[in-house]
């Protein structure tokens, strides 16, 4: 059993209530809060959930990711309602200039995009590559949100940036593939109570990915948007191999929403649309796509970013495909897969 204590509650205030089980308890720190793990001897999690000091009780010995498997809340972001249409998250890899970015944000809003993405601080493989404009980019993102009403999805690289992201009004914290198993970052960001977009590390197994989501849910994230962005295999025709097979696997394992990132998997704009459509056909509930007003001039990921016209075409085709897949024979209603 795991007891996640409320903020400000010390383990010493709870351990005496455990009686004989206290001698076998293990105390751990999760960010600024404490957790206590101990054998339950058959006592259910519901019994401990009634304690005033306990925020959440988890029967973690039952399975590796109980919160991921039992999660069953509703998901809404902006104008998107789950199951009615694919979720569209779009915008440039990096926010590079105010005027063109605001124009792009308005154009994406007019196309019906649900969430605006854009990079502020960038994690780059080379230290000599463009690292993003930081606070300046966040200011422009906040302005775009104010002008269009679009929620913001922005990658966060360190917990030190958390406060400025909250001030900028970031709605979904993106934890990138490089940080999928940065459990300290996951815990700290999740404590803000915002949803996370969690990208799969190219080397991660499904279990490792879902355990990372478990960290976020345990620390307080209301939901986690699982994003397949390609895994590393022997094949080099594309930047990564988009694992479309993982999408039905996720649907079997958890009711958490799942999307795909065809931009990073493709590495070239010409392949983004077919990969995106393949992901939707395999069970993705949406796509996150890089779109730039002038891709050749982009300071990061220029080759894989779509023009506005290319994205509009993908969106039309993707929505038609999604609608066809949602149509149920004999009047059956659509439903989301629940873990068995």
238: pLDDT strictly greater than 50? yes
- Where, residue-wise, is CATH 3.20.20.70 in the chain? 76-331
Report d(CA 252, CA 247) in Å as an integer.
Answer: 9
Report d(CA 287, CA 284) in Å as an integer.
Answer: 7
- Where, residue-wise, is CATH 3.30.70 in the chain? 2-62
What's the pLDDT tens digit per position in 20-44? 778 888 898 876 788 898 887 667 7
What's the pLDDT tens digit per position in 79-135? 999 999 999 999 999 999 999 999 999 999 999 999 999 999 998 888 889 999 999
The predicted structure's pLDDT at residue 124: 86
The predicted structure's pLDDT at residue 338: 47
- Supply the DSSP string of 1-70, one letter for each residue: -EEEEPTT--GGGTGGGGGGGGGG-EEEEETTEEEEE---TT--HHHHHTSTTEEEEE-TTS-S-HHHHH
269: pLDDT strictly greater than 90? yes
Q: What is the DSSP letter of 332?
A: P
Query: Considering only the top CATH level, what class is 2-62?
Result: alpha beta
The predicted structure's pLDDT at residue 47: 81
Angle, to 10 degrees, between the axis of helix 206-219 and the axis of helix 183-190? Answer: 40
Of 165, 119, 169, 135, residue with least CA distance to 149: 169
What's the pLDDT tens digit per position in 161-220? 999 999 999 999 999 999 999 999 999 999 999 999 999 999 999 999 999 999 999 999
Is pLDDT larger for residue 327 or for residue 213? 213
Mean pLDDT rounded to a whole number for the chain: 92
Per-residue tokens: 130 = 């463009």
The predicted structure's pLDDT at residue 57: 86
User: CATH fold of 76-331, please?
Assistant: TIM Barrel (3.20.20)
């Amino acid at each position: 059993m795991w007891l996640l204590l409320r903020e400000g509650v010390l383990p010493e205030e709870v351990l005496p209530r455990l009686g004989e089980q206290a001698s076998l308890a293990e105390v751990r720190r999760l960010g600024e809060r404490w957790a206590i793990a101990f054998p339950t001897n058959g006592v259910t999690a519901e019994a401990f959930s009634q304690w005033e000091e306990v925020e959440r009780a988890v029967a973690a010995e039952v399975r590796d990711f109980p919160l991921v498997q039992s999660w069953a809340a509703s998901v809404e972001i902006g104008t998107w309602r789950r199951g009615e249409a694919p979720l569209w998250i779009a915008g440039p890899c990096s926010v590079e200039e105010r005027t063109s970015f605001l124009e792009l944000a308005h154009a994406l809003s007019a196309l019906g995009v649900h969430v605006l993405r854009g990079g502020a601080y960038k994690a780059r493989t080379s230290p000599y590559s463009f690292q993003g404009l930081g606070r300046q980019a966040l200011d422009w993102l906040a302005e775009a949100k104010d002008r269009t009403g679009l929620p913001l999805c922005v990658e966060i690289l360190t917990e030190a940036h958390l406060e400025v992201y909250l001030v900028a009004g970031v709605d979904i914290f993106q934890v990138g593939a490089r940080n999928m198993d940065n459990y300290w970052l996951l815990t700290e960001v999740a404590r803000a109570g915002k949803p996370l977009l969690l990208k799969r590390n190219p080397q991660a197994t499904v279990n490792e990915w879902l355990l990372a989501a478990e960290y976020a849910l345990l620390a307080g994230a209301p939901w986690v948007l699982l994003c397949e962005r390609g895994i590393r295999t022997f094949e080099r025709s594309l930047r990564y191999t988009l694992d479309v097979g993982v999408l039905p696997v996720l649907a079997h394992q958890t009711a958490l929403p799942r999307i795909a990132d065809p931009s990073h998997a493709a590495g070239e704009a010409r392949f983004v649309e077919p990969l995106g459509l393949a992901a939707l056909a395999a069970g993705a509930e949406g796509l996150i796509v890089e779109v730039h007003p002038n891709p050749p001039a982009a300071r990061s990921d220029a080759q894989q970013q779509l023009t506005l016209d290319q994205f509009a075409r993908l969106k039309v085709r993707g929505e038609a495909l999604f609608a066809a897949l949602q149509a149920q024979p004999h009047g059956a209603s659509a439903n989301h897969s629940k873990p068995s």
